[in-house]
Structure 1
């Protein structure tokens, strides 16, 4: 008996594998934002202000006429660690901050991650490791205890942080560039007023 030609067998394989392949889940939606380039080019940091709506999970960079220069979806604190509401001002501006509270344990020699979330870790620090704080690009501090605005990943509509305001990379870069120490920030919505807010 003659065996089927190899090309014929290979041509049947994709059809067979398709019958048993489970579809991959769709990628999560990306945060939506808008940057008005002409308003951004004309905006001086001294005229900028920031408005954060906790209910809508939205942040806006405003000019002196209260026109939105940047509008972006954000993700704020979970119910157990809510983002404070009130009137604040930028206390610190850094290109990148490394958290001294939220980080991981990595091996000193290879930088291999041993514990991803140290705040959930039980017991002592694993031997041969050191702490490495999570990176928070384009950091704007709002409270000395640690609440700030920074670039971070999140799924739109989900509260994901320990109190900070997470934003997509591109709009946060524009907001950071147009902010300065003292930029006013108004946070409003469903959270209770924070004691650090005047």
Structure 2
């Protein structure tokens, strides 16, 4: 009897622990076409909608259908503005999830599979040939890593190849693929929804060398314009036509310059499976961090098609 009660208690505690919601461990949520990270799991979106409706300051009446759309995005933007989360673009990333966790701590939410749990279900690949055989490189966002090879990278034995046709970056160590990840290269006349900008520049093909490495470089072209502390414009500063305003450039993390004309590799949350940048090569944050740490000034970079 005692053993039965003990087992029952353990089961209840285990269930409670796994039923507890944790926005901080959810997948990022946003417009799927704009961001590689945004899985938009319906249960996680539904919990987001429930939490937003429960906020006593916002008085929202969202339909809790688990579908990401215009109304949910606008509600997130309202939430971000109220809690001073900037930029308030409706992207449910780390900053927004931290505040949601605090604001909705007393809201009872259905249990969902978290991003961490989803990662556990991902298939592991024995080698790059196995990865390439089972993954559609042009469409998939999956990343291949050979940690043993990566540990041997010293900058002198690395080489980057960027395939425009696949929208993929490969990091070679001693001539072997140590990392293969999605990237976004330059586009010709492509409309960028998040910045309301037309991208109009291809990433140049050829062989380059990394000219500089800066952990957090400020863009001289893309950013926000502020007047009296209020954001009045977001996008290409060259196209701003309003009254005089203060320009604040976007931070390009893990910047690796390729050309004197401003083309380089850098981290971005806007990773697509087709060309969509203004010439630079965008990389997922974790991928950019790895590449940045494994190369040095002078590392060879081949851009092919």
Smaller-chain TM-score bracket: 0.7 to 0.9
Q: Is 1:122 aligned with 2:241?
A: yes
Match of 1:82 in 2: 202
Q: Which has the higher contact order (CA 8 A, sep 6+)?
A: 1
Q: Is 1:170 aligned with 2:286?
A: yes
Q: Is 1:67 aligned with 2:176?
A: yes
d(CA) in 1 for partners of 2:183 and 2:213?
A: 19
Q: Deviations over 1:25-53 (max 9, x none)?
A: 499x9932122211111111111110000
Instruction: Tell whether the 8 Å contact from 1:150 to 1:172 is kept in structure 2 after alignment.
Output: yes
Q: Is 1:24 aligned with 2:67?
A: yes
Instruction: Tell whether the 8 Å contact from 1:30 to 1:155 is kept in structure 2 after alignment.
Output: no
Cα deviation for residue 21 of structure 1 reads 6.0
* 2:225 aligned counterpart, secondary structure: strand
Q: 2:220 aligns with which of 100, 103, 124?
A: 100
Q: Is 1:159 aligned with 2:202?
A: no
Match of 1:149 in 2: 265
Q: 1:132 aligns with which of 238, 248, 253?
A: 248
| Count of matched residue positions in the alignment of Structure 1 and Structure 2 | 163
Higher fraction of helix = 2
Rg: which structure is higher? 1
Cα deviation for residue 160 of structure 1 reads 1.9
Unaligned runs of at least 5 residues, structure 1 = 1-19, 190-198
Q: 2:299 aligns with which of 170, 180, 183?
A: 183
d(CA) in 2 for partners of 1:78 and 1:124?
A: 30
TM-score, length basis structure 1: 0.75
Q: Which runs of 4+ in 1 moved over 3 A?
A: 20-23
Unaligned runs of at least 5 residues, structure 2 = 1-62, 70-90, 92-138, 189-199
